Structure 1
Amino acid sequence: MAGDEAPPAKVQKTNAGDAKKTAKPMNAKEKAKAAQEALNGNVIIQFQSSTGDNTGPQLDVPASVTPEQLETLLNGLLSHTERTPYSFYIEDAELGGALGTHLAARDMSVEAVLRVVYQPQAVFRVRPVARCTASMPGHSEAVLSVCFSPDGRRLATGSGDTSVRLWDLNTQLPLHECKGHRSWVLVVAWSPDAKYVASGDMDGAIWLWDPVTGKGLGTCGGHKKWITSLSWEPAHKALPSTRFASGSKDNSVSVWDAGARRCLFTMSNHMQAVTAVKWGGEGLIYSASRDCSISAWDATDGKLVRTFKGHGHWVNTLALSTEHVLRTGAYDHTGTAPEDPTEAKAVALKRYQEATGGQPERMVSGSDDFTMFLWSPSTSKTPIARMTGHVQTVNQVVFSPDGRWVLSASFDKSVKLWDGVKGGFLATFRAHVGPVYQVAWSSDSRMFVSGSKDSTLKVWDLRTRKLKVDLPGHADEVFSVDWSPDGSGVASGGKDHVVKLWRH
């Protein structure tokens, strides 16, 4: 009877269902066979730079090709005399083994030309920190700020005990105690030529110190409320370093001459506290505020260039894609720089140009509205991307030294990783059991460290996206962390008054 027969579509569905029921999981032998099949045949690939430009012709390569072999191919195409290490990405996923296996694991088709995006990696490798090599007492209140010098040889710390301390990292002993502040020292910042340390306090006073002698060089007075941020003019714009910018809770940003200790000009369009100031590499100074806006100012005369709006709550933090190279100036990863200022300025400019690759610098802002924005601040006031995912306040955002990645630390106890060019979300790192206050990158962009209210530091591996080392040791909250630009170690400070050094 015709009524008894299932319609054709139903028959197909039922068969498909039976097939699903009968499909057994593959045994080891079948798995090995499938893996072997994935390595057979050829794939046509096209190398692309991170900016999307094609490099060389389309290439017909075996599916068994490895990242090392692709690296050799690419170095040949780019006619490099010295081998440069690269990492390779296919649709934002890093290639970790044979190409065929990678494609099979992701069910990707090899019918069309495969775009392989390459990223140069640091030629040097930083070793992961594994243990605390020194606990340096001295401060009698919480340590609020730790900052390595651009050459990575010295450390400056600011504390609630109103002092700034300078530490010798070879002997792991205090070099100088700098007294002058009358209130909590909230921020410390080295000039990119390591000739000055600036520190700002709760009363709105800024002190300048000679890091060699530890002597106070004088104060910069003018701000009415506490200093939230300090940023020096980049070395490729001016050497020796003399100018720096300060942001304050009094809603203003000031630019100072460090030699004469006088205010050159003050910028103010913010309606609430300025939370972060960054002196960019393209002649602009950026300021973020609790009035939900970010401003870009001309560094020569302090005129307002543009404002950036979009956040629905306080903007807490700013980061620039060029930050690492702006911080280190002419110093390379071994902490060496030319003595002559003209020569050093040229080296700093070369390093800056290599870091940007001729592209405008990028900026990320993080807010109390749980979101972040990625901007190209020197060219447009429209954001490149809105980055969502955190479920509480974003405390800090940091670009990796190579400008490729962005990390965000949040009160939601997590650290998130984002694409620093397009703004896409990549991974979440969870292990802390309290809010994450700060994160810091290793200078080779392969690892980062996070410090938390839970009293621990944690070192993470970027490639595996996993926890590498857990570093307990502090007796209370860890407020500030920094990774030395020469890769030698990590410094941390917090509520237990102790500065700790961590090394391999």
Structure 2
Amino acid sequence: MATLLPPKSKKQKKEHANPISIEVPENFPLVQIEFKASDGSNSISSLLVPGNSSVKQLETLVNQLIGNKDDPVPLTFALEGDAGSNLEIPDNLYSTIFQPGLKKTEDHLTILYTPQAIFRVRAVTRCSAAMNGHDGTIIAAQFAPNNSSRLVTGSGDFTARLWDCDTDTPIATLRGHRNWVCCVAWAPDASVIATGSMDNTIRFWEPKKGLPQGEPLRRHTKPIMSLCWQPLHLCKNNESPKLVSGSKDNTVRIWNPKLRTLLFTLSGHTAPITCVKWAGNDWIYSASYDKTIRVWDAKDGKCLHILQAHAARINHLALSTDHILRTGAYDHTNFKPKSPEEERVRAKERYEEVIKSQGEERLVSASDDLQLMLWNPLKSTKPIAKMHGHQKVVNHASFSPDGRYIATASFDNSLRLWDGKTGKFIATLRGHVASVYQCAWSSDSRLLVSSSQDTTLKVWDVRTKQLKFDLPGHEDQVFAVDWAPDGQRVASGGADKKVRIWKH
């Protein structure tokens, strides 16, 4: 059995959730550890390591052992438990495992390591712009998938607006709807913007100058509640992405935006649709007030499964691949495709990398029954986990870009973090003093931003599970928040009718 000693350090202190720092003894016995990759791709035979080793020392050690000495990768560590109940190690082995008495130094430990994003997103700390223009409450906001310089917002003033975030000025007002604009969605190749309204129509807009593209789609008979684009890697022969819409008329419809044609009407729900998602395996998920989630085959519109477990209406769905499907070919490297074909190939490569590291696409649903359900619809129509804990309606759920965590926002004034694979509860994030409406992840999965009825945004550190920055500035409740995929900006909007841009 090998003995490897990471470099000795001075006294280390535990600086996260516990306000009383725990002093780590300098001389502490060696413990026997087996390191395993969390995705099961690699394991390192048992070796002796000081029981007071910090996460930074473990990271250096494991990078040496797996051959990344010259190009180390950031890693997180967790103590493997029974039935997937792994314990995250935020600071060091001593304060997480030995000081609380979870293990003895004679025990054999299995430590799971997980690579993190090599790039790092800096937390937003200040409001760089408060942009006026809307005459009604802002209820939707989304950055372009390829950069943070373009933002679209939807409002109760019957318009959407396109903003230039480099100059903090409006590019265009997207006029045409005759009622509230409930949802906005950028195509994953950033070629077009879709807006859905309470006037029962969907409109399309050119993203450079905000000019309308063709006639609106009018086949829905009640307000449009949700829009989602076809993932870029599923588009064939240079076709443009298709669009799926969910409406209060109880139907889901699949469109060809370029030809302005309706391809399929998906009927079966008995109450309004609240959320639609187009998954990377070409399935479409729809959630409804009728307490069910339906799974559709996008190729022919057939209903494949009905997921039933909730006891009240379902408010929101999130996929473990949402981030990669939204961004398509684009990432932090400022990739610029030379052709649509190259763009699709790159999008497919990125999606396959994520599936390889995460496993199959998972789905989470948030409901008025105060619960969340975690699903793997490829394997079963029964939930992997029923996630209890929120005391009021769960309004929003979101997977971290790496698929490791789920963040949920509730009317009980809190957010909760859950394990993205097992659904196990991890932490409650408290700080808001009124209902939390939405949350958005930074693209490196290290930070989370939330918007609330209490007029503030809050930035949370996922490693420490603590509030990192409080962002006051809005004069009324904040309904919409989005973190740009390139990590540079956060946008928010709400009842004060102002769009605020936040930077580091």
Q: Shared topology, TM-score over 0.5?
A: yes
Structure ID, larger Rg: 1
Offset from partner CA, 1:210-244 (integer Å, 9 cap, x none): 00121111211111111111001111112553201
Q: How many residues align?
A: 473
1:286 alignment counterpart: 285
Displacement of 1:36 in angstroms is 2.5
SS of the residue 1:193 aligns to: coil
Deviation, 1:53, is 5.7
Q: Deviations over 1:154-206 (max 9, x none)?
A: 10001111111110111010011111111110000000000010000002100
Instruction: Name the structure 2 match of 1:371.
Output: 371
* Residue 94 of structure 1 pairs with residue 88 of structure 2: yes
Corresponding residue number in structure 1 for 2:186: 190
C-alpha separation in 2, matches of 1:78 and 1:300: 43
Q: Secondary structure at the match of 2:76?
A: strand
The answer to whether the 8 A contact 2:33-2:110 is kept is yes
* Other-structure match for 1:345: 344
Deviations 1:229-276 (A, max 9, x none): 100111111255320100001111111111111111111111101110
Q: Which residue of 1 aligns with 2:225?
A: 228
**How far apart in 2 are the matches of 1:79 and 1:189?**
42
1:79-478 matched pairs, under 5 angstroms:
79-80=67-68, 82-91=71-80, 92-107=86-101, 108-151=103-146, 152-218=148-214, 219-238=216-235, 241-357=240-356, 359-478=359-478
- What's the offset of the Cα at 1:33? 12
**Residues 137, 302 of structure 1: alpha-carbon distance in 2 compared, 3 angstrom cutoff:** same
Residue in 1 aligned with 2:8? none
* Alpha carbons of structure 1 residues 110 and 414: separation in structure 2 relative to 1, 3 Å: same
Please state whether the residue corresponding to 1:48 is helix, strand or coil. strand
Greater shift after overlay, 272-281 or 71-80? 71-80
How far apart, in 1, do the equivalents of 2:95 and 2:426 lie?
21
Paired residues of 1:197 and 1:209 also in contact (CA < 8 A): yes
In structure 2, distance between residues paired with 1:70 and 1:216: 55
Helix, strand or coil at the partner of 1:348: helix
Q: What letter corresponds to residue 255 of structure 2 in structure 1?
A: W
Q: 1:254 to 1:425 in 2, by over 3 A?
A: same
Partner secondary structure for residue 342 of structure 1: helix
- Measured after TM superposition, the shift of residue 121 of structure 1 is 0.8
Percent identity (aligned): 48
Q: Is the CA contact 1:192–1:241 (under 8 Å) kept in the aligned structure 2? A: no
Alpha carbons 2:191, 2:207 under 8 Å: kept: yes
Indicate the SS of the match to 2:173: strand
**Mapped partners of 2:166, 2:316: distance in 1:** 32
Distance 1:98 1:308 in 2: 41
**d(CA) in 2 for partners of 1:96, 1:399:** 20
TM-score (norm 1): 0.90
Question: Distance in 2 between the 1:73 and 1:350 partners?
Answer: 30
SS at the partner of 1:502?
Answer: strand
How far residue 468 of structure 1 moved from its aligned partner, in angstroms, is: 1.1
Structure 2: which 5+ runs fail to align? Answer: 1-19, 81-85
CA, structure 1 residues 378+241, in 2 after alignment: closer, same or farther (shift >3 Å)?
farther
SS class of match (1:60): strand
**Comparing both structures, which one devotes a greater share of its residues to helix?**
1
Counterpart CA distance in 2 for 1:379 and 1:297 is 15
Take 1:339 and 1:158, find their aligned partners in 2: how far apart are those partners?
32
2:25 aligned to 36, 39, 43, which one? 36
Cα separation, partners in 2 of 1:61 and 1:270, compared to 1, 3 Å: same
How far the C-alpha of 1:101 sits from its partner, in A, is: 4.2
